[in-house]
Amino acid sequence: MEAVVFFVLAAIALTGALGVVLSRNPVYSALFLVLAMITIAGFFVMQDADLVAIIQIVVYASAIVVLFLFVIMLLGVDRHENLNDPLRLQRPLAIGLGLLLIGEVLVLAGREWVTGESSVRGALDEPATGNVERLARSLFTDFFWPFEVTAALLVIAVVGGVVLARRSRRPAATASGDDA
Amino acid sequence: MTAAMNAASLLATLMAGDPALAGKLDGGIVLLVAVKVVVAFAVLLVAVMLYIWGMRKVIADMQNRIGPATAGPFGVLQTLADGVKLFFKEQSIPSSADRTVFRLAPYLSILPAFLMFCVIPIGGTVSMFGHRTNLQVADLPMGVLFILAMSGIGVYGVMLAGWSSGSKYPLLGSVRASAQVLSYEAAFGLGILGVLIQAGTLSTRGIAAQQAWVSWRSIFTDWYLLPCLIPFAIFLIAAVAETNHPPFDLVEAEQELVGGFHTEYTGIRFAIFFLAEFMNVITMSAVAVTLFLGGPSGPAFGFLPAQGSVNVWFVPVFWFLVKLLALLFGTVWLRASLPRLRYDQLMALGWKWLIEIAILWVMVSAGFVVARDRDWPLWAYGAITGSGLLAWGMLYLSIPKPGEPVEDFR
């Protein structure tokens, strides 16, 4: 039963992933990306990781892809892509790394074949402690320092982005008012 | 472990908490879930029909008109007649449209609206087909987050409808819509967070259970109405904005955008957009009832047996509907009385007021919950909160105000 669910989800996820790469229209690519993301959330549910599944939908399937679509729509999709790479080595390098990845996956798949069973580490959702509690405990104890550093890094990135995007034209600038 | 057990445990993960799904899966349970899904969808459709009729009647009354009066008693079948009319109208697709996405968009907007309703507990635990079950389609352990996720997914319908129409005004309308929904998502989530901090659970049924009826004092002590009064206000404002309901209906501002994102839509696709919009209004009101107004909690009818079918089946649903109707009347009142906001007012309200107040409230109430759990004295809590507020106030004062000279960065 779980193997059936797994293979159905895997087929949908692969369709989505291929659609992202093969679509000519960037909006279609973004929509296929949503499909792939939601299917991956399904995989998380199969592993009893409900919280991660929901976060996958909230963050990736909605927030991030909506942002992609926003940019695509505002910049216009009718423009033709320039297929001449500015970096000449990019394409052979990408092909080489892709082949390496396929080889790696095939080697792994040769040893372990999917059964659809939950991972050997056991369900995250044990009866004693819920999914959220387990995740919160590891975030705020074992991984507290990396977690806080990541948060600080994100804040720095946002502030940096605002500063870089801010272009003041007048020599003696005033804070922008309602009419600015 | 047999395959059926695996399936049952998978379903139990999806719908944990429903007693019908705790044990082995059999045909009765499948039937039960199917019936619940179909009934929920039908109820939502009929509710939208009645809501539109009620809205037109109430607004008409407020404007000294009669409103729909010919189709059925008191014009109650007017919405049905409109629906039938729209169903048989020609569906045109503009030549510049992206045909696939244009056809897909209405369904993308109605699906999240329905899925969101599935996690709302509208009644107690009852017996059906020989199984104990909740009057709720799915009791997800992450129910509240699921509501947030679905309201996020709901943007796609509007956004893609505007883009795929291939003309100017729908695109402008959908860009407005997505910006508005994304902006208010933060305030919406932070408003819900106010309840989650107090409740300590993400399950909608768990939150409703904590507000269960004990006596009349439950309204003030057990419901999250008073402990979370500020999040409730923020939630209501943000939910009205999320559903593009007046006074936040800039998405379909007729004076500026012709019709907004649905300008190019006709016939049943046009109707589906409005179905989704009103479904969202009803679902958001139901979410507010569940989170803040106790959900199905209310006094049982004392003159009837406590375990009788009326008190088990009917009374919780009745109280839920009473509260839902009160909130829905409020939305109609808003539609009848408030003028539309300007775009900058909308953004200023969301980003400069709601999010700040919500974050402040989350910090204050988190401190309060910790102080209550650890039995801290009141003065310690007051000192911590006071210093936090002081720090925030100093930060606020250091932000340059309009017209104030600031140093140039370059």
With beta carbons under 8 A apart, name residues in chain B contacting A63: 152, 182, 185
> CA-to-CA distance for B66 and B333, rounded, in angstroms?
17
A43 neighbors A34 (Cβ within 8 angstroms): no
Residues A145, A112 share a domain: no
Dihedral angle at the C-alpha atoms of B179, B185, B186, B187, nearest 10 degrees? 110
Residues A113, A137 share a domain: no
Q: Is A53 within the bounds of a domain? A: yes
> What would the DSSP string read from start to end of B154-189?
THHHHHHHHHHTTSHHHHHHHHHHHHHHHHHHHHHH
Average pLDDT over residues B171-186: 84
**A167 secondary structure, DSSP code:** -
Residues A157, A113 share a domain: no
Q: How far is A70 from chain B (nearest CA, A)?
A: 7
Tokens representing residue B409 in the block: 């960065």
B388 touches chain A (CB under 8 A): no
Nearest to B138 by CA among B24, B17, B234: B17
pLDDT for the residue numbered B13 = 45
- The strand pairing partners of B125, in sequence order, are B134
* Residue B242 predicted with pLDDT over 70: yes
Dihedral angle at the C-alpha atoms of B288, B290, B294, B299, nearest 10 degrees? 120
Cβ A177–B402 below 8 Å, yes or no?
A: yes
Q: Is A94 within the bounds of a domain? A: no
pLDDT for the residue numbered B21 = 63
Single-letter amino acid, residue B107: Y
Q: How far is A122 from chain B (nearest CA, A)?
A: 14
Q: Chain A interface residues facing chain B, Cβ-Cβ under 8 Å?
A: 1-2, 5, 25, 27-28, 31, 34, 45-46, 48, 50-51, 53-55, 57-58, 61-63, 66, 69-70, 73-74, 125, 130-132, 163, 166, 168, 171-178
Q: Is A177 within the bounds of a domain? A: no
Q: Of A55-59, B174-178, B300-304, which one has max mean pLDDT? A: A55-59
Residues A112, A160 share a domain: no
B171 neighbors B165 (Cβ within 8 angstroms): yes
pLDDT for the residue numbered B7 = 43
pLDDT digits (tens, 9 = 90+) for B286-298: 999 998 888 888 7
CA distances (Å), origin B109, targets B77, B103, B115, B238, B279? 25, 12, 11, 19, 10
- Sequence-distant (≥ 6) Cβ neighbours of residue A99 within 8 angstroms: none
B40 neighbors B137 (Cβ within 8 angstroms): yes
Cβ B10–A125 below 8 Å, yes or no?
A: no
Cβ B149–A74 below 8 Å, yes or no?
A: no
Residues A55, A35 share a domain: yes
Residues A140, A61 share a domain: no
Residues A111, A31 share a domain: yes
How many domains, in total, are found in chain A? 2
Q: What is the residue-level pLDDT of chain A in tens, covering all 180 positions?
A: 778 888 899 899 999 999 998 888 888 888 899 999 999 998 888 877 788 888 888 888 888 888 888 888 777 665 566 666 677 788 889 899 999 999 988 888 777 666 656 655 555 545 555 677 778 888 888 889 999 999 999 999 999 988 888 766 655 545 544 444
- The strand pairing partners of B134, in sequence order, are B125
> CA-to-CA distance for A13 and A5, rounded, in angstroms?
12
Q: Is A98 within the bounds of a domain? A: no
B142 touches chain A (CB under 8 A): yes
Cβ B140–A50 below 8 Å, yes or no?
A: yes
Single-letter amino acid, residue B158: V
**A1 vs B6, B101, B174: nearest CB:** B6
B395 touches chain A (CB under 8 A): no
Residues A131, A113 share a domain: no
Q: Is A96 within the bounds of a domain? A: no
> CA-to-CA distance for B311 and B216, rounded, in angstroms?
17
Looking at chain B, the whole-number percentage of residues with pLDDT higher than 70 is 91
The structure tokens 């449209």 sit at: B97
CA distances (Å), origin B100, targets B97, B104, B109? 9, 6, 15
* Residue B12: closest C-alpha in chain A: A48
Residues A117, A51 share a domain: yes
A-proximal residues of B, 85-104, CB under 8 Å: 98, 101
Residues A114, A30 share a domain: yes
Q: How far is A141 from chain B (nearest CA, A)?
A: 18
- Sequence-distant (≥ 6) Cβ neighbours of residue B8 within 8 angstroms: B21, B23, B24, B25
Q: Is A72 within the bounds of a domain? A: yes
Residues A30, A66 share a domain: yes
B145 touches chain A (CB under 8 A): yes
Cβ B175–A54 below 8 Å, yes or no?
A: no
Cβ B202–A132 below 8 Å, yes or no?
A: yes
Average pLDDT over residues B398-407: 74
pLDDT for the residue numbered A99 = 94
Of B72 and A150, which is predicted with more confidence?
A150
- Mutate one of B142, B197, B347 to test the A interface: name it (highest A CB count within 10 A): B142
Rounded to 5 degrees, what are φ and ψ at B132?
A: -80, 130
Cβ A174–B406 below 8 Å, yes or no?
A: yes
Domain of residue A148 covers 126-168
Q: How far is A34 from chain B (nearest CA, A)?
A: 10
> CA-to-CA distance for B193 and B360, rounded, in angstroms?
12
For A154, counting Cβ atoms within 10 Å of its Cβ (0-12 exposed, 13-18 middle, 19+ buried), the class is: exposed
- The strand pairing partners of B126, in sequence order, are B133
In chain B, what are the domain boundaries?
11-343
Q: Is A162 within the bounds of a domain? A: yes
With beta carbons under 8 A apart, name residues in chain B contacting A32: none
Residues A40, A6 share a domain: yes
- Sequence-distant (≥ 6) Cβ neighbours of residue B340 within 8 angstroms: B246, B247, B248, B249, B250, B253
* Residue B29 predicted with pLDDT over 90: no
Q: Is A101 within the bounds of a domain? A: no
